[in-house]
Amino acid sequence: MPSEMVTVRSNQEVGEDVFEMRLPSSVPAKPGQFYMLRREGSALLLPRAISLCNQEEDTLTFLYKVVGEGTAELSNMKPGDKLRLTGPLGNGWPLEELSGKRVLLVGGGIGIAPLLLAAKALRQQGNPADCCLGFPHQPFYQEAFQPDCGALSIATESGVAGHKGLVTQLFDPADYEIVLCCGPTPMMKAVVALCKAAGTPVWVSLENRMACGVGACLVCTCSDHQGKNRRTCKDGPIFRGEEINFDA
């Protein structure tokens, strides 16, 4: 069932304010899809959208950052606690378009989460992607990427690890045939601009406040350059970067 009460398997801090939660599920999902999570008896009305970070057999792994009340509530959950899990939702990365191409994955902060399964899928196709991950300070979860990437480079703004600076300084999009990107909006804007200049197609995973997550309520729309609305939850969350008007 794509909406059910499930029991938390594990939930632990893996970086500063960053948690990894494992939940059971037997429904197969595509890399880049997301789920809506809501604690049983939550004090909050709406579930929270979290991207699938990993899927092994019957276990889903989510990586999330505590930014407000909802994610704080999730972070307080203990094994055995119950939550409502709805999904998988959204379109997922365009894996069919990637086969045989030179692919670069660019992740910023918690935005690295939806990239891991893309890396795994490409590695399985025998076509591992290069991977550039940027963090404000201490990196996290990069060890999970290591085995599934080609070249892995790290940037940190504070300089505690890898290149001191922004992730956009780590790569030249002209070296790749396609780029997949997820991170804070300013970073995605910058990556899209670089790729556009280099003529390299780029796909981004967007975030937007959501209610239904299934395309019914129209609160999560973003705009393309023609001013047409796109539902982040249903038509996305993954869009061609060139199409999206980040300033709408």
Partner 1 sequence: MTLETKLLGVTLKNPVLMASGTFGFGEEYAGYLDVSRLGGICSKGLTLHPREGNYGPRMWETPAGMLNSVGLQNPGVEHFIRHELPGMRGLGPAIIANLGGGTIEEYVEGARLLNSAGIDILELNISCPNVKEGGANFGLKPAIATQVVSAVRKVFSGPMLVKLSPGAENIVEMAKACRQAGADGLSLINTLLGMAIDVEQRKPVFRNIAAGLSGPAVRPVALRMVYDVVRAVDCPVVGLGGIATWRDAVEFLLAGAAAVQVGTAVFQNPEAPLEIIDGLQRYMERHGFEHISDIRLKK
Ligand X SMILES: Cc1cc2nc3c(=O)[nH]c(=O)nc-3n(C[C@H](O)[C@H](O)[C@H](O)COP(=O)(O)OP(=O)(O)OC[C@H]3O[C@@H](n4cnc5c(N)ncnc54)[C@H](O)[C@@H]3O)c2cc1C
Ligand Y SMILES: Cc1cc2nc3c(=O)[nH]c(=O)nc-3n(C[C@H](O)[C@H](O)[C@H](O)COP(=O)(O)O)c2cc1C
3-state SS class at 39 = strand
Nearer to ligand X, 121 or 200 (CB): 121
- How many Å apart are CA 131 and CA 147, to the nearest integer? 11
Nearer to ligand Y, 29 or 220 (CB): 220
Query: Which option in ligand FES, ligand X, ligand Y, none does residue 216 bind, with CB closer than 5 to 8 A by kind?
Result: ligand FES
- How many Å apart are CA 240 and CA 112, to the nearest integer? 18
The amino acid at residue 36 is M
Provide the CA 28 distance to its chain's centre, in angstroms.
17
Nearer to partner 1, 3 or 146 (CB): 3
Nearer to ligand FES, 36 or 144 (CB): 36
- How many Å apart are CA 8 and CA 38, to the nearest integer? 12
| Cβ pair 87, 41 in contact under 8 A | no
**70 contributes a contact to ligand X by CB under 6 A:** yes
**38 contributes a contact to partner 1 by CB under 8 A:** yes
Name the phi and psi angles at 233, rounded to 5. Answer: -75, -35
Query: Site residues (CB under 8 A) for a copy of itself?
Result: 41-43, 69, 72-73, 76, 78
**103 contributes a contact to ligand X by CB under 6 A:** no
Nearer to a copy of itself, 11 or 200 (CB): 11
Of residues 3 through 32, those in contact with partner 1 by CB under 8 A are: 3
Q: Do the strands 238-240 and 10-15 form a parallel or antiparallel pair, or are they unpaired? A: unpaired
Name the phi and psi angles at 3, rounded to 5. Answer: -140, 110
Q: Which of 25, 23, 22, 35 is nearest to 210 (CA)?
A: 35
**34 contributes a contact to ligand X by CB under 6 A:** yes
Nearer to ligand FES, 49 or 178 (CB): 49
Give, in order, the Cα–Cα distances in Å from 151 to each of 41, 116, 145, 155.
44, 14, 10, 13
Mark residues 82-111: x for contact with partner 1 by CB under 8 A, - for none.
--x-x-------------------------
Give the interface segment with ligand FES, choosing from 91-99, 138-146, 197-205, 227-235 (CB under 6 A): 227-235
Query: Which option in ligand FES, a copy of itself, ligand Y, none does residue 24 bind, with CB closer than 5 to 8 A by kind?
Result: none
Q: Which of 219, 225, 245, 248 binds ligand Y (CB under 6 A)?
A: 219
Query: Which option in partner 1, a copy of itself, ligand X, none does residue 2 bind, with CB closer than 5 to 8 A by kind?
Result: partner 1
Q: How many residues are recorded in the chain?
A: 248
- How many Å apart are CA 205 and CA 32, to the nearest integer? 8
Contact footprint for ligand Y (CB under 6 A): 217, 219
